[in-house]
Structure 1
Amino acid sequence: MDTTPISPQPGSTIDPASAVRRRDVLRRAREEFTAGNNLSLTDPRRMGKTVLLDLLVDDPGAGLLAIKIDYEGVRSSTEFVLRTLEGLRAHRGLASRTRDRWRTFFDNVDLDLGLGPVKLGVAATGRSATALLSDVILAVEEHLPPEALLVVAMDEVPIAIANIKDNEGPAAAHQLLQCLRELRRRRSRLRWILCGSIGFHHVLRACGATEGVINDLVNLPLGPMTQPEAVELAHRLLLGIGHTPTDPAVSEMVRVTERIPFLLHALAHRLRESGLATDATRVVSVFDEFVGDREDSRALTHLVTRLDPLYEGRVREAELLLDRVATAGSVPTADVLTQGSDQIRLILDDLVDDHYLVEGADAIRWRYDVLRRVWHRRRRLSS
């Protein structure tokens, strides 16, 4: 186990050099890319998706190149194209001939010249965003080194598609999804991983698309860290705050956070602020304080607030179901489904797909008990 100290960074981008490797997930991703598959990764915020992509870019593996593009904040099809090009032009391994092709339709392609953001050129006038996106990608495909595979890691794609639907209409969002599907369909040396903190099912429904536009993507499970990874992170975080990482304290940190990396960082940060020595009892009390502190744990308030835009017209029913399961701990599936409403069935499907709930053979419960506690506390539910 690596014992290099890590300073807690609950709200910052983590340098891959200071991150605990998600070895099993990265190994599977590399195997899927080598086998010719493209991937989908959707998990709630704070599970470590962005860090995983950064780790992949930092160490893509033998025969692989990788570039990450963040689409958060994109609100139009044209912005999507320009953000894609800006991400790709930053990759030093691309051939100069690729940039020569890009200059046909875009200005400021050469990042080394410090010319600022990429802009549409005169020749792009009248061309659709999807045609321009195809031009960008085809230029990369044609000039990759013959022995290399390039992984394009696209972060927060569902949010961008949802924004495009809101600003340009469902047809524009649907066309962009179809274009991405067609680009992935080519048996080229590009591989794709599409990531997001909201599920594609919401986006597809909103823009009238079917599963056909994403059914070529293999799901890559992420979730919490493995037990050894979480133990390593807890150990190194305690070293990073100058505390002695005893086995009981480390074990308790892993248990109360349910191996969620953001929560481990947040807990270590709060332990450092307390100024007291860390033992198992202190870990439990400090974490409970964190969950109850509305200001300190504000990064988790998306659990309460994100239902409104995603569950339009069904927010109240979704909240009541989450309240019920959060209070009871688990609810027999039959008790929910016997309400006889197709709407309830669809809501349950969405809450499972959004990683709030998990449906077992006979009962429904929260996927992560720590997040159930946050919901219970934020909603001020009675025990």
Structure 2
Amino acid sequence: MKINPGGALALEDIVGRDTLVAEVMDTLETQSLQLVAERRMGKTHVLSKLEAQHRDGWVMVKRDLEGVRSANEFVQYVLADLHPLLGKIKKFREWLASIGSEASGLKIGPVTLPNFSAKSWKQGLVDTLAHLSESAQTKHVVFLWDELPMMLQNLAKTAPQEAMELLDVLRSIRQENAKVRMVFTGSIGLHHVVRHLKQQGYVNAPVNDMTTMEVPPLTHADATSLALRLFQDNRIALAEDAVAGVVAAEVDNIPFYIHHVLSKLKSKHAGSAHRVTADDVRKEVVDAIRSALDPWHLKHYEERTREYYAGDRTACHALLDAVASAPGSMSMQSAINRAKSVVPTMDTESWLELTNLLERDYYFVRHTDNGELLYKFSIVARWWRWHRGVPAAEGGAA
């Protein structure tokens, strides 16, 4: 296996996800779902495995929607992705020909898809998916839509009404078309998009028919196995095999960071007589956390608060600083009290709502025994302390 930090992995190099993929497939038998996780957790790789391991009679349609800027463009991509399946159906071809006189859109081989107007994209989407019922051999068509929340966020900024209507149409299609399943995933939480739309008058619950599944870090056993394989396949000598477990533990069993650590170790030690020790690993992690060049893109956790918490960013940072100062967990009330010294005018209910949002955005988790707050990922807590200059209480790591 090649070391590949941040790149697209070959299917055989995506480890530890078979159980999750099977659970997603079982869920899709009955309903659509949101696949959620913090960025760099491997959601896109899970989609790739889903696409490759579909069940008999299932058609998997995978599309990255990050660059889509309008509902019209989205519907054209849906048409394009379904054309290999629906193009064999006479009624679909006749329907497509009947609306082909509209302004030209995407061109696929000899076929030019319609460029739907603002008034007709909704009907075009509904009509397109209605033709799936004529595909007798198809049990389910599963749309694997990566970065759909980002597409909706882009829409919400320029055409909020269009974003609202698209969410509603997609929900209606899920309710009325038994063959359609949808998987939403992306680096932006859809709850933030819906929250923004509700501030502009949106009143619906567009995804309450979908279940939510999280893409977690690898198990420690799988993360250790991945690190050990990377050491071995890239001729990086180890002082002992247990060092692979140190790599996994130091980066919260997240494969993206495992690849990064191994990349640095390879550049220094591959093919040499030096045998990598646990201290070598810890040094690489500390160096990455403290680097002004931010090789692991950890500054994202601070930068995105401008978008997610625009009106409450100072309070957000105060709360994150408070919990980061603790070596372990901190009671919610203690964290809020400490943050209040920075923003004394914010009321208790707003602090509780902010805490809940930070939990949904993977900054915090609640301790299962006492309900105290702690950072979900130690790597983020360590970076936050270092780059924000938060004094760590005794026992805290930098």
* TM-score (ref. length: structure 1): 0.88
Q: Does 1:111 align with 2:104?
A: no
Work out whether residues 71 and 83 of structure 1, in 8 Å CA contact, stay in contact via their aligned partners in 2.
Answer: no
**Radius of gyration: which is bigger?**
2
Alignment of 1:225-264 (within 5 A): 225-244=218-237, 246-264=240-258
Q: Does 1:135 align with 2:127?
A: yes
Alignment of 1:1-383 (within 5 A): 6-34=1-29, 36-89=30-83, 92=84, 96-97=88-89, 100=93, 101-105=95-99, 107=104, 111-113=108-110, 120-121=114-115, 124-125=116-117, 127-139=119-131, 141-168=132-159, 170-208=160-198, 209-210=202-203, 212-244=205-237, 246-275=240-269, 276-328=274-326, 329-336=328-335, 340-360=347-367, 361-383=370-392
Among all aligned residue pairs of Structure 1 and Structure 2, give the percentage whose two residues are the same amino acid. 24
Structure-2 change in CA distance of 1:284 and 1:316 (3 Å): same
Equivalent-residue separation in structure 1 for 2:2 and 2:211 (angstroms): 34
Aligned-partner residue type, residue 200 of structure 1: L
Equivalent-residue separation in structure 1 for 2:34 and 2:185 (angstroms): 6
Work out whether residues 21 and 55 of structure 1, in 8 Å CA contact, stay in contact via their aligned partners in 2.
Answer: no
Aligned-partner residue type, residue 297 of structure 1: P
Root mean square deviation, CA, Å: 2.4
Work out whether residues 254 and 264 of structure 1, in 8 Å CA contact, stay in contact via their aligned partners in 2.
Answer: yes
Equivalent-residue separation in structure 1 for 2:294 and 2:92 (angstroms): 46
Q: Deviations over 1:284-308 (max 9, x none)?
A: 2122212222325252221110010
Aligned length: 368
Structure-2 change in CA distance of 1:353 and 1:126 (3 Å): closer
By how many angstroms is 1:42 displaced?
1.8
Aligned-partner residue type, residue 136 of structure 1: T
SS at match of 2:217: coil
Work out whether residues 181 and 214 of structure 1, in 8 Å CA contact, stay in contact via their aligned partners in 2.
Answer: yes
SS at match of 2:353: helix
Q: Deviations over 1:145-186 (max 9, x none)?
A: 435322111111111111101011x22211111011111112
Work out whether residues 22 and 229 of structure 1, in 8 Å CA contact, stay in contact via their aligned partners in 2.
Answer: no
> 5+ unaligned residues in a row in structure 2: which ranges?
341-346, 393-398
Structure-2 change in CA distance of 1:127 and 1:227 (3 Å): same
Equivalent-residue separation in structure 2 for 1:128 and 1:341 (angstroms): 46
By how many angstroms is 1:204 displaced?
0.9
> 5+ unaligned residues in a row in structure 1: which ranges?
1-5
* TM-score (ref. length: structure 2): 0.85
By how many angstroms is 1:368 displaced?
0.9
